Amino acid sequence: MIIPPLPTPFDSQGQLDVPAFRELAQAVEPHVDGILFYGSNGEGVHLTPAERSAGLAAQSPHKPVWVGLMEETLLQASRALEEAVSLRAKALVTPPRYYEANLGSEGFLAYYRSLADAHRAPIWLYHVPQNTKVQLPLAVIAELAKHPNIQGIKDSSGDLARMAFYASQKLDLQLYTGAATNFLGALALEAAGGIMAVANLAPKPYRMLLAAWKAGNIAEAQTLQKRLEPFGRGLSAGGVILLKQALRYLGLPGGFPRPPYSAESPAWANFKPLLEEFRAEGWTVGS
């Protein structure tokens, strides 16, 4: 499966644009296999509880849904979990980070188990240390994988050694990568797909790569990965600011980042030719 972490559109004044949020989801969904709301590229950490609720209430997805939970306490996470239930979604959960040194492995285990024990929605682990600054210990992940309601993990670290660990331990988790730059490497280590920012812009070639891999067409998959690597690397360099700028350029309602973050990325000049190349190929959403 190829799944985009959908951006959350804000207007030029930084206000949540609910109609644009719904329109963007409806424009992207036909091209992908599911949607993640409020992941890292969805700026979930920038939303008030009321905004989170209003944004999800406007959605009517037809494909599988994930909702990001990037909370600091169990009480906050439990509230956000109820929102995931409203969309029959899986909850993609980062570890608490602000005081993570006071948690340790036992604290992480207790946090995730408490959410999973509620059985209100399937729990997925979300390892994204470039944003959380937290390394979720491998031993913790292996232990959490034994819980029947912890069903998957999205690892956005780009660390293929971690992917190799998950595969070698035969963890009972659905494994997805968030790193487009080594997507094929993750597939070779038993990832089932990708939840990747690139899927908001150009899901088609990544679906082609996944299909080639599944069909055993290794050479074709390798050729595609080589072709796609600069695109994934370029978007990663600019993050959500560049992603929203690229969506606006394609005529999609990506909106703007919430202040104090800039509306334009310094990486745009280098990324624009790659985006144009993919649009000429018919690979971008809306092309």
Side-by-side strand order, sheet with 90-93: 2-3, 193-195, 174-177, 150-155, 123-127, 90-93, 65-69, 35-37, 5-6
**Cβ neighbours, 10 Å, residue 268:** 16
3-class secondary structure, 261: coil
Alpha-carbon distance of 253 to 17, in angstroms, equals 9
Tokens of residue 111, six digits? 């946090």
β partners of residue 65: 35
Structural domain boundaries, residue 182: 2-227
Query: What one-character DSSP code corresponds to residue 44?
Result: G
Answer whether residue 22 is part of any domain. yes
For residue 252, tell me if it sits in a domain.
no
131 confidence band (pLDDT: 50, 70, 90): confident
Average pLDDT on 55-80 reads 90
Average pLDDT, the chain: 93
Which residues does 167 contact at the CB level (< 8 Å), separation at least 6? Answer: 175, 189, 190
CATH number reported for the structural domain that contains residue 66 in this entry: 3.20.20.70
Q: Does residue 283 form part of some domain?
A: no
Q: Which two tokens stand for residue 181?
A: 């730059």
Would you say residue 129 has pLDDT above 80?
A: yes
Q: What is the pLDDT of residue 141?
A: 95
Q: Residue 175: is its pLDDT beyond 90?
A: yes
Write out pLDDT tens, residues 93-128: 999 887 776 778 898 999 999 999 987 789 999 999
Looking at the chain, the whole-number percentage of residues with pLDDT higher than 70 is 100
| Residue 264, in any domain of the structure | no
Query: Residue 241 domain-assigned?
Result: no
Q: Rounded to an integer, what distance in angstroms lies between the CA atom of residue 257 and that of residue 40?
A: 12
Question: Residue 137 pLDDT > 80, yes or no?
Answer: yes
Query: What is the predicted pLDDT for the residue at 25?
Result: 96
269 within domain boundaries: no
What pLDDT was estimated at residue 81? 86
Number of domains in the chain: 1
Confidence at residue 287, expressed as pLDDT on a 0 to 100 scale: 72
pLDDT in tens, 155-173: 999 999 999 999 999 999 9
pLDDT digits (tens, 9 = 90+) for 224-251: 999 999 999 999 999 999 999 999 999 9
Taking the model in full, what pTM does it have? 0.92
- Identify which of 174, 191, 169, 173 has the alpha carbon closest to the alpha carbon of residue 182: 191
